[in-house]
Amino acid sequence: MFPDLPTKALSIRQPWVWAILNAGKRVENRPRRFHYRGPICLHASQNKNRRCYEDAANEIFDTIAPYRAAPHANCAPRGGIIGTAEIVDCVEESDSPWFFGPYGLVLENVQPVDFIPVKGALGLFDWRKRLEVVQ
């Protein structure tokens, strides 16, 4: 099932994963060093903390990418695979306005995919083992 998609996925909160796919965000901030390099699926976290979402959306719109407004909190897809990317590096400093540190995953070859409902997990995970049954 889905043979063209990478096996590993990384769960990222909205609207940050939206920004990766739509606003040129090519650095994903992480609290720890990351050793994996290669293709991943981008998983939109199920987290629905509205205040965190709105703070992040305002940061994106007001300072980083003023030409792109993140979708309303109720419209952002959550709880599934929504794209793919390739992790090419993990940096401790960057000139990118998207870098907040302490570590940043450098992403390339970002592509959207049709939504696939998947239960998320911490760190890299095999998303095929976590497919959600849609009824």
Average pLDDT on 38-60 reads 82
- Domain residue ranges in the chain: 8-130
Mean pLDDT estimate for the chain: 88
CA angle 104, 109, 114 (to 5 degrees): 105
> Helix or strand or coil: residue 109?
strand
What would the pLDDT profile of 72-112 be if each residue is shown by its tens digit? 667 788 899 999 999 999 999 999 999 998 999 999 999 99
Place of tokens 């043979």: 3
What's this model's pTM, rounded to 2 decimal places?
0.87
Task: Between 67 and 59, name the one with better pLDDT.
Answer: 59
Name residue 8's beta-bridge partners.
126
- Give me the CATH topology for the region 8-130: 2.30.130
